[in-house]
Structure formats: C-alpha cells, structure tokens
C-alpha cells in the first residue's frame, strides 16, 4: 500500500513536471502530458533490434515510452536515453537507474553518444516534436540519427498529425505508417523512416 502510494505520488509528480516544462517551453516539449502506455506499447512493438545492437530513445521526457520498451523485453544495457531538459533527465535517471541517460541535444548525437554505440543502433525512437518545426531542425535531427544508426536502421517517430510528421521527399526519406494509438491524448500515429536509397 505504502509502495503503491509512493509510485502514485511519483506519477503525479511526473505529470506536474511535464506540464510545467511544457509551460516553460511549449515548442520543445510539444505535449502537455506524457504518452499513454497504449502508444508506448505500439512503439515498442515496432522497435527492431538484433544481437548486440542498441536502441536509442531521443526526447525521452519522463520515460513513458522507455517503460514500455523495457516491459517488452529490451535489455536495459541495450537502451540509451537522450533528453535535453535537465529536470526531465533527472527523473529518468532516478526512475531507470540501470539505463544510460544522457542530458543533451539530439542534433549532436555524434558528439554526445559513447563511441562504442555509434553505428550500432538499430532503431532510434523519437519523441521529439517535429511537426511545424523548421526544415533545418528536422534535417539536423534526421542527419544526426542516420550518422549513428547501423546500416538498415530506422527512426520510429510518433505524431498527432494525420499525415507524415516529416517531409519525406525533402529529407530524402522513405516513410511508412505503422499504426495508430487511439488511446492517447490526442490520438497518435507511429511512422517508420529509413533513408530513401536504403529501403529501395
């Protein structure tokens, strides 16, 4: 009982933190509440990895998707989190003490990721707000991801938009809609992006 009170308190604390960080920086945070477990499970079900590959989650927030990735069986030493907001990354480090949590900017992945991980990432799971952002921001995120993904690797990006969250042609991407999570506020779609030439 005491334990469930504690986890309930932590969850409310995360909701309040998320809302506060959105108030402080709505463009960067992009949502007033964390993703639902239903959306997180949909993302986890499309997250590919094999052997010694890693999964990288960028814009991990307070760990809503992280939780589902671990619950789906992803070994914790194969999952790396990047989060720009120091208050949120402090929550991640406390909530997931066995994960590598990097406080940093996902446009600079080649600088902030450990050398042994670069080029060995099978999937980048992105919670970054992308819709309506400048093309050069979208380009720098996409380039940073493909610079650290292994050959054939992919970006999984969720969106509240009814269409692709990234302009595929302009960014040289092939994108596929993987599914919808109606049970999210608002409902969200999951897209998988690869380099156009890699998926032909």
What is the contact surface with ligand SAM in residues (CB under 6 A)? 28-31, 34-35, 58-61, 64-65, 82-85, 88, 105-107, 127-129
Asked, as a colleague might, if the bond just before 186 is cis with ω within 30 of 0, I would say yes
Specify the residue, 187 or 199, whose C-beta has the smaller distance to ligand SAM. 187
Minimal CA–CA distance to 100: which of 130, 131, 121, 128?
Answer: 121
Specify the residue, 179 or 196, whose C-beta has the smaller distance to ligand SAM. 179
| 79 membership: H or E segment, kind and range | strand 79-83
Task: Give me the sign of the Cα torsion angle 11, 17, 20, 21.
Answer: negative
Minimal distance, residue 58 CB to ligand SAM, in Å: 5
Minimal distance, residue 47 CB to ligand SAM, in Å: 13
Minimal distance, residue 107 CB to ligand SAM, in Å: 6
Burial of 160 (0-12, 13-18, 19+ CB in 10 A): middle
Specify the residue, 84 or 99, whose C-beta has the smaller distance to ligand SAM. 84
Specify the residue, 47 or 83, whose C-beta has the smaller distance to ligand SAM. 83
Which CA distances in Å does 131 have to 56, 69, 87, 138?
21, 24, 24, 9
Minimal distance, residue 197 CB to ligand SAM, in Å: 26
């Amino acid at each position: 009982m005491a334990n469930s009170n504690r986890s309930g308190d932590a969850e409310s604390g995360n909701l309040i933190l998320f809302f506060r960080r959105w108030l402080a920086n709505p463009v960067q945070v992009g949502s007033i509440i964390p993703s639902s477990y239903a959306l997180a499970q949909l993302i986890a079900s499309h997250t590919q990895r094999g052997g010694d590959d890693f999964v990288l989650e960028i814009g991990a927030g307070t760990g809503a998707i992280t939780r589902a990735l671990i619950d789906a069986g992803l070994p914790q030493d194969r999952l790396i989190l990047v989060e720009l907001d120091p208050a949120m990354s402090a929550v991640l480090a406390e909530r997931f003490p066995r994960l590598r949590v990097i406080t940093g900017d996902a446009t600079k992945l080649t600088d902030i990721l450990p050398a042994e991980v670069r080029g060995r990432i099978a999937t980048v799971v992105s919670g970054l707000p992308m819709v309506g952002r400048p093309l050069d921001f979208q380009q720098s995120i996409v380039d940073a991801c493909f610079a650290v993904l292994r050959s054939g690797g992919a970006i999984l990006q969720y969106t509240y938009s009814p269409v692709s969250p990234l302009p595929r042609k302009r960014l040289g991407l092939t994108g596929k809609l993987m599914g919808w999570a109606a049970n999210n506020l608002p409902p969200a779609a999951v897209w998988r992006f690869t380099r156009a030439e890699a998926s032909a």
